[in-house]
Every structure is written in structure tokens, then in C-alpha cells.
Structure 1
Amino acid sequence: MSVDNQEKNIIAAGGLLNATCGNVPELIIALFALHKEKMEILKWSLLGSILSNLLPVLGSSLLFGGFANIGKERSLNRRQADVSICLLLLGILCHISAVASKGTIKNEENINSLGVLKLSRASAVIMLIAYIGGLLFEVKTHRQIFEQDEDSSEISSGDDDDATDAPVIGFTSAVIWLIGMTAVIAMLSNYIVTTIEEASESFGIPLRFISIVILPIVGNAAEHAGAVIFSFKNKIDITLGIALGSASQISMLVVPIVLIVSWANGIPMDLDFNLLETGTLVMTVIATAFALQDDKWHYLKGFNLVLSYVVIAVCFFTMKALPNK
């Protein structure tokens, strides 16, 4: 059974809006870290947010949603996944270029760093343009393609999934809550950035592990819960919009914005996230792309993504941080 165009637009925008609101904490934390010029914490927190959305958020959604639908064949919006994966691949290309440049430019250290800085700033502009292009493609010029996929996924999921949940609060109340929670997050983010290094020393937990693993998991808790709930309700397209949309938004929108803000304030920030971190990002995007290479989903794909995140968490917990030279 097909839904009307208005409901389709709401469904299509739901994942994007959820991802955008969920990324507010990451952006605020990044700006506070930038203001205090704590570049390692800044880069690690942004990297961790991307990893968290692609592996534990998407992985657990596929895992628990698959458990709830064992024995049933479920489809997902392959085109929606392709758009996000393409953006993420472009993003990691920019990061790889920055990392590789430091190893290939045979000049003095300050000249080398200046070259990487210029490359990163140019890449940031390209990343912003790419994100805007992908957004226009998905919500404006080729929206009918995604609506067709929604129709086909509804047919495969059956009539029991046609019920529409009634809104819990109205639009005005939602905006008020969003503004209020953003203000609270801003105050807490300043406290987190100020005390995170002391907490790392006090508890004996590596700063990199806290920044890449713990902070993003806590920050993505609301998105995580929402994605899992939607997967239980067989609304996997919204789950993809939350997880993939959030990851691509951080990679192609938040990171470039922070870099451009640092550029405007004369703070040297580049896209060199160090070799280990960049390699982890590359393998995460590849693993996610392989998990979504067909239009079907089940619990095993989610199980593998979650285990991949466990490996990454153990790696960052046991490895000492390398200086970002």
C-alpha cells in the first residue's frame, strides 16, 4: 500500500532532520575545542562521531531489527545508501590526501605543514559543495527515485507496517525543546572540553579512547535509540537516514565548517587525522559499503558492524596516542 506524497516527504525528511539535530552536540563540542585550540580532541571527536554512526548505530539497528524480523525478507533503500557512501568516500579521499601529503612532500617541516593546510582548506570547500549537491539530489532533483524505493519497500514489508504513529508533540513544542536542549548542550560541552584531559589522567583512560569512543557513544545516544526503534518498526529507510545521513553530514558538512571557521580565525587546522585514525575511517566506510551492497538487510550484517566497532575500540584503548605533528 502506497502512502501519499505528503507522508513520503515527511518520511524522507525525518531521517535528515533527526541526523541534523543529533549532530548539534558534535558541532558545539568541536567549536569549543577549536576555541581552546585542542586540535587532537577536536579531530578525535569528529572522527568518533562518524565511526559511531556507521558501526554501532547502524550495526545495532540492523542487528536488533533483524532479530525482530527473523524469517522475513526485508528491503532497504539502496539509492539512499549509495548517495551517503559516495559522499563518505569523497571525504576519506580528502583525508587520505592530507595524510599522504605529509609523507611525500620533501621540504622543511613548516613548508610541508603549510602545503597540507592549503590542501585541507581547498578540500573543505570541495566537501561543502559536494554535500550541498548530494542534498539537492536527494530532496529536490531526484526525490521521485527515493519515493519509488519507498513504495517497493512498503510492498515487501506487508500491510502490518502501514500504521502511522501519531505525533507526540507539536512543531512549536519541538522547536522550543530543541532550542532549550541546545543551550544545555552548549554549557555541558564547554565543561567537557575543559575537563576531558584531567578526567583521562584521573581515571587512567587514554584521551584518544575517550574522545573517539566514549564521547560519541554518549552524544549519539538519542540517535542510537531512534535508529533502533525505527528498525524494529521496519522503517529501515529512516534508520539509514539517521545513521548514514548523520555520518555523511559530519564528514562533509561539520568537518569543513569547523575547518573554515578555524581558517577565518587564523587557527591552523588540517584534515590530517593521523595514519591510524584515517585508516580506521577508510575501513569503516568500506565495511559499511559492503554491508549495504544489496537491497536486503538482516541481523548478520549488523552483527559484523558492531564487532568491527569493538575491534576499533580495543585498538584505541590499548594504543597510546601519537602526536599530531
Structure 2
Amino acid sequence: SRACSIVMLLAYVAYLFFQLKTHRQLFEPQEVEDDGDDSVSQDEAVLGFSSAMIWLGVMTLMTAVLSEFVVSTIEAASKSWELSVSFISIILIPIVGNAAEHAGAVIFAFKNKLDITLGVSLGSATQISMFVVPLSVLVAWIMGVPMDLDFNLLETGSLFLAVLVTVFTLQDGSSHYLKGLLLLFCYIVIAICFFVLRQRGNGSNDDVHHQLGVASKPWRI
């Protein structure tokens, strides 16, 4: 897991270098010319670079403090609500925590800025899977905390299904309501799977695989 985490971090750094340096023109938004109006309206920056960095630091600090409270109370909430920890941490918390990000993506989509919408949604998913997760494994290694990339069958299948549906949805470069419904239905199916899942005991992978009716040997990456 630690070796894979290092490789994933290197791949993410290469992706950033490709996107921001060598092939930046591929990720720039396409300008749409309006024949009826010669003056093209440009969005003005609300914050400067220094102000944005200050606000980013303040919000990051506040998020870190609040995350400590969330982590310390998630197991108690799981018992009181009679929900699995997986459902709360994978479904409920991301919906609430990323509410502003979701709202921003929807607003940009209404403004017909699909490139920014995809950048917000897919960029966040890529950052979590290729940067945050492997970085957490390496930080846990340094701190002496046991953590690896040992995903159970349901989590691995959900990740594979989400990536597969997203690729087939975006491959032709068009968008309509049916594709949006398909993505929503896919998310609902994944949420139902984690809602039905009940982790017994300490929530180990063996318990999860026993509930799924498969072999108890986990998929170790």
C-alpha cells in the first residue's frame, strides 16, 4: 500500500504538471463568441491572489478543527442513528461537506460553463483518490498509525462502477438530462448498498465480506 501510495502521488504530480504547465491550452475554457454583441463580458475577480490565499488558509484551519469533532462523534452517531459508519462517512458527510462545491457546479452548469463544472466535480474526485488517500497512507506510516489501501469488495465495486459510468457518459462530449439521471441513479444505487450494509462487531473487512456472502479474504492493493 505504501509503495502504491507513492506511485499514485507521483502520478498526480505528473497530472498537475501536464495540466498546468506543458499542455495548459487543452484545459482552457473555450470562448463562445456572441454575434449580436461585440463586447464580450468578462468575469471580474472578486478577490485578489493574496486575499484568496489568506481566506484559503483560514478556511483550511477551520475545516481541520471541525473535522476533528466529526471524526470523534461519527461512531456515536452511527449507534444512535442505527446507521453503518460506512454510510455516514461515504454518503452523508460528503453531501454536507461538499454542499458549496455541488452548488457551484450546478450554478456553472446553468450558465452553460460545462468545462468549469466538470473541472470542479472531476477535479475534486481526482484529488481525493489520487492525492488525499495516498497522502493519508504515507502520513499514517510516518505517525505509526496502521492504515493501508485495503478496500473491501463493496467499496472497490462502487469505485469501479462510478469510474465506468462517468467514462461512458463523457466520452462523446455531449450532455443532456438523461445522462444526468443516469449519474444520479448510479449514486442512489451505491448509497442504497451502503445503507443496507450493516457492519457487525468492529466493522472489519471479514464482517463486511461475510455479510456480502463472498469469501472473507479482502482485496489488498
Match of 1:240 among 105, 118, 126: 118
Cα-to-partner distance string for 1:275-299 (whole Å, 9 max, x where unaligned) = 1111110010000000001111112
Where do residues 116-131 of structure 1 align in structure 2 (5 Å cutoff)? 120-131=1-12
Counterpart Cα distance in 2 of 1:158 and 1:268: 60
* 1:204 corresponds to 2:82: yes
Is the 2:8–2:131 contact (alpha carbons within 8 Å) kept by the matching residues of 1? yes
Where do residues 37-186 of structure 1 align in structure 2 (5 Å cutoff)? 120-147=1-28, 150-151=29-30, 154=32, 162-186=40-64
TM normalised by structure 1 equals 0.58
Identity across the alignment (%)? 56
Number of matched pairs: 202
* Structure 2 unaligned residues grouped into runs of 5+: 207-221
User: 1:159: Cα distance to partner?
Assistant: 7.0
Counterpart Cα distance in 1 of 2:106 and 2:142: 39
Residue 21 of structure 1 corresponds to which residue in structure 2?
Answer: none
User: 1:182: Cα distance to partner?
Assistant: 2.0
* Structure 1 unaligned residues grouped into runs of 5+: 1-119
Secondary structure at the aligned position of 1:126 is classed as helix
Moved more, 305-314 or 264-273: 264-273
TM normalised by structure 2 equals 0.84
User: 1:158: Cα distance to partner?
Assistant: 7.6
Where do residues 181-196 of structure 1 align in structure 2 (5 Å cutoff)? 181-196=59-74
Greater relative contact order (Cα < 8 A, sep 6+): 1
* 1:323 corresponds to 2:204: yes
User: 1:169: Cα distance to partner?
Assistant: 3.3
Counterpart Cα distance in 2 of 1:243 and 1:302: 13
Residue 106 of structure 1 corresponds to which residue in structure 2?
Answer: none
Counterpart Cα distance in 2 of 1:266 and 1:158: 62
Distance 1:145 1:268, change over 3 A: same
Cα-to-partner distance string for 1:249-308 (whole Å, 9 max, x where unaligned) = 111111111111111122221111111111110010000000001111112111110111
Counterpart Cα distance in 2 of 1:245 and 1:317: 27
User: 1:184: Cα distance to partner?
Assistant: 1.9
Counterpart Cα distance in 1 of 2:3 and 2:107: 39
Q: Which amino acid aligns with 2:161?
A: M
Secondary structure at the aligned position of 2:148 is classed as coil
Q: Which amino acid aligns with 1:241?
A: G
Cα-to-partner distance string for 1:84-103 (whole Å, 9 max, x where unaligned) = xxxxxxxxxxxxxxxxxxxx
Distance 1:199 1:299, change over 3 A: same
Residue 215 of structure 2 corresponds to which residue in structure 1?
Answer: none
Structure number having the greater helix percentage:
1
User: 1:222: Cα distance to partner?
Assistant: 1.2
Across the aligned residues of Structure 1 and Structure 2, the Cα RMSD in angstroms comes to 2.1
Secondary structure at the aligned position of 1:154 is classed as coil
